[in-house]
Structure 1
Amino acid sequence: MSKLVIREYIDVMANDKQDEVIYLSRIAQTVRVVQLMLDMLDASEQQLALQLNTEHGQRMDVARLYSDKDVAERYGVHVRTARDWISSGRIRGFRMDRRWYSRADWLDEYEGQMAVELE
């Protein structure tokens, strides 16, 4: 989605201010869509997006993505094991272009669950 398309979408919504609830709901949906798009970027693209947002006075938090290889290195397991964990739902993640990914906050969530289970 280009900046122009997003801008046009926001302009259309601004013309529909009669119902403030619908307007705010659409803004929230747009923000969620943009956040999901940013979440799917690799680490270098995320850094570029953050830099562009900072330059234009915008602040959006983008969770760092870890590939299946990164997850395997983080936990000291084989890449196949990391893929199995992500694909089975043990660790939240998603598949994109034949690779599995997880976000930093999802890995933190997994580690928190593991800590509770060990207690």
Structure 2
Amino acid sequence: GLGVQRDFVDVRDVARAVHAASLSAAQGVINIGSGRAVRLRDAAGVLARVAGYGGALHELDGPPGPLRGAIGHPRTDGEHTGPVAYPYPDGCGSWQQADVRCARDRLGWRPRINLEESLADIWMEAACRI
């Protein structure tokens, strides 16, 4: 469903973080993200806006019952088992947000590109390829 929240980060910011990490003596796990959870419904609205879509967005309900948000898994014999119900297909639950304090403190890194700019750039790049 579009009510789940995820932390979106632009790939250019990720590349800057990898570069900063390669120049750093920092060790261990360092989370990279925007540090902000965004509801997927809101992200879809931002994408519609940057794409110039002025119509209404309608969120459709998934299949009824336990198949809502389901994904399928292949069987070992090559046959497809069909949908398998999970609370959230990506396995991350309803909320996900990176704690980017270590990236800030150890690498001096902060995300620079917000979601709207990122989606606008992706949209423009795709439009230029058509």
Q: TM-score range by the shorter chain?
A: under 0.3
TM-score by length of 2: 0.22
Higher helix share: 1
